[in-house]
Structure 1
Amino acid sequence: MLARGDELYRALPWRHIDDPYAVLVSEIMLQQTQVARVGRFWERFLAAFPTVDALAAAAVPDVLELWQGLGYNRRALALKRTADQCAAEGEGRLPDTYEGLLALPGIGPATAAGVMAFAHQVPGVYVETNVRAVFLHELFPDRDGVSDRELAPTVAAAALCGPAAADPRRWYYGLLDYGAHLKATGVNPTRRSASYSRQSAFEGSRRQKRAWIVRRVLAAPEGSEAPCVLAELSAAEAGAGRPAVDEALFASIVDDLVAEGFFRREGALLIP
């Protein structure tokens, strides 16, 4: 697998760097987002917020503004909260242990293992979608419904010995590139994973309406009247050939966005 990964190596801007923060930003951005879309966002985000302290000092609307176009805006909020916590408790640095990273907002086992491998050259169990694809393809070719619980010991056994342990970056870069190649050629072994689910259509979905509302509110620093936002959203939906947005649905989405910290509400005014 290592040789095959070397053959398929992709030169990506976040590779072979030692800055854990820059690696973390790439790992968060790459969640549920295609590599081809991430490059320009990663470079622009780091130019604006080059350090943990810079991100901690930034206003939430400014962070969300630079995230627009990547989708899944909760990731930006979690990254901002991580920076806030590290600036307050970690002297502007990310923890340098897997356990320390795992304790931060929005950082799960795969993200923590990725930062440790790529920034610190510390081997670990990094079960990312392309890594999953390779192990399913090579070791479980005739099985459906393979769980990550079953995969993890196999990934660990391979990662913690031999060339993988000596050079975790190279090992996981190879797996990521081999997995991406498999998917690009139409094989996509991840469909045989127990955790696989086909993503629902974005247009017309609640996710799409959430994203529209976030963009609209962020565009008006002085605040926007909620009824006006609802009317504009309904007009946009009508323009796309979809029905007007129900008031209860709009209120539910706004409640979620306020609770998650995207903006605040003062009476009928939505303020970024």
Structure 2
Amino acid sequence: MLAVSAPLYRDLPWRGIDDPYAVLVSEIMLQQTQVVRVERFWRRFLEDFPTIDALAAAAVPDVLERWQGLGYNRRALALKRTADQCAAENAGCLPATYEGLLALPGIGPATAAGVMAFAYQQPGLYLETNVRAVFLHELFPDEEQVSDRVLEPLVRAAAFHPVAAADLRRWYYGLLDYGAHLKATVPNPSRRSASHSRQSTFEGSRRQKRAWVVRRVLAAPEGVKATQVLVDLEHTEREAGRPEVGEELFASIVDDLVSEGFFRRVGQVLVP
């Protein structure tokens, strides 16, 4: 078993809690987002939406507005849809099984395993990026392109070991702390994973334009004409020294955002 020394301990606000909903919010927020940013949003989000029923009762624009600054807004919509489903079908509770969690919108294997471990103290395959870094560093120090298929049985076996299973929450947080420490002190072991990929540049990307359009529409509670949003977006892009967006790309972005539920289109007007 790996030992993690006290100085590596991170005093995170969601650490040690057993509320499945609060754990899920932290796990969703931590996807592709730095811990320091999530710390600023997690408490505020739970103050506004303290329960699944509260999130289900909230309007989508309000949820998206509270999410602004975290990025990857699809996560907020998936979390809202999960709350809607649980409020309607499960008395405002999350499922207490891995399979039940996986069936909910936006919850993948790692997120489901994280909720099972941290909320329910149930062992499973929680192969998160920091966990991956630990196993690569300790067990495959000289190997490149190590696949998750190689790591998965090792992570699972460790979680079911009697010492880890006795306090699974502590075990996995120890791994997460150690993984974060490794990334800060040695070349990131995760780069030797076959699944590692560099995050694409945000500025100038389609994702950046999507986020801008969402913010622009949410800032107009009564709605705003699509043509005006395009004019404003083009101005923003020119000010940043980037090429114009063009009607075709803009229409494609708007179509995607409408179909994904970020806002509605009423004639030529985009409405939160």
TM-score interval, smaller chain: over 0.9
**Distance in 1 (alpha carbons) for counterparts of 2:148 and 2:105:** 22
Which letter does structure 1 place at the counterpart of 2:40? R
Q: Secondary structure at 2:196's aligned position in 1? A: coil
Whether the 8 Å CA contact 1:122–1:168 is kept in 2: the answer is: yes
TM-score with structure 2 length normalisation?
0.98
**Distance in 2 (alpha carbons) for counterparts of 1:244 and 1:12:** 42
Q: Secondary structure at 2:105's aligned position in 1? A: coil
**Distance in 2 (alpha carbons) for counterparts of 1:180 and 1:256:** 35
**Distance in 1 (alpha carbons) for counterparts of 2:178 and 2:115:** 20
Q: Report the counterpart of residue 96 of structure 1 in structure 2.
A: 96
Whether the 8 Å CA contact 1:145–1:193 is kept in 2: the answer is: yes
Per-residue displacement from partner, 1:30-54 (whole Å, max 9, x unpaired)? 0000000001200000000000000
**Distance in 2 (alpha carbons) for counterparts of 1:241 and 1:165:** 54
Q: Report the counterpart of residue 68 of structure 2 in structure 1.
A: 68
Change (3 A) 1:150 1:70: same
Whether the 8 Å CA contact 1:5–1:175 is kept in 2: the answer is: no
Which letter does structure 1 place at the counterpart of 2:153? P
Matches within 5 A, 1:144-223: 144-223=144-223
**Distance in 1 (alpha carbons) for counterparts of 2:95 and 2:109:** 14
Q: Report the counterpart of residue 31 of structure 1 in structure 2.
A: 31
Q: Report the counterpart of residue 252 of structure 2 in structure 1.
A: 252
**Distance in 1 (alpha carbons) for counterparts of 2:79 and 2:88:** 14
Please give the root-mean-square deviation of Cα atoms over the aligned residues, in Å: 1.0
Distance apart, 1:268 and its partner CA: 1.1
Distance apart, 1:6 and its partner CA: 4.6
Which letter does structure 2 place at the counterpart of 1:10? R
Whether the 8 Å CA contact 1:102–1:112 is kept in 2: the answer is: yes
**Distance in 2 (alpha carbons) for counterparts of 1:194 and 1:267:** 47
Which stretches in structure 2 are left out of the alignment for 5+ residues?
none
- Is 176-185 or 56-65 further displaced after alignment? 176-185
Which letter does structure 2 place at the counterpart of 1:139? L
Which stretches in structure 1 are left out of the alignment for 5+ residues?
none
Matches within 5 A, 1:9-88: 9-88=9-88
Change (3 A) 1:164 1:6: farther
Distance apart, 1:5 and its partner CA: 5.4
* Count of paired positions: 272
Change (3 A) 1:59 1:267: same
**Distance in 2 (alpha carbons) for counterparts of 1:2 and 1:191:** 21
**Distance in 1 (alpha carbons) for counterparts of 2:147 and 2:67:** 32
Q: Report the counterpart of residue 139 of structure 1 in structure 2.
A: 139
TM-score with structure 1 length normalisation?
0.98
Q: Secondary structure at 1:3's aligned position in 2? A: coil
Whether the 8 Å CA contact 1:124–1:156 is kept in 2: the answer is: yes
Q: Report the counterpart of residue 110 of structure 2 in structure 1.
A: 110
**Distance in 1 (alpha carbons) for counterparts of 2:99 and 2:6:** 30
**Distance in 1 (alpha carbons) for counterparts of 2:144 and 2:98:** 31
Per-residue displacement from partner, 1:219-262 (whole Å, max 9, x unpaired)? 00111100110010000011111121111110111111011000
Q: Report the counterpart of residue 243 of structure 1 in structure 2.
A: 243
Q: Secondary structure at 2:122's aligned position in 1? A: coil
Moved runs in structure 1, 4+ residues, more than 4 A?
A: none
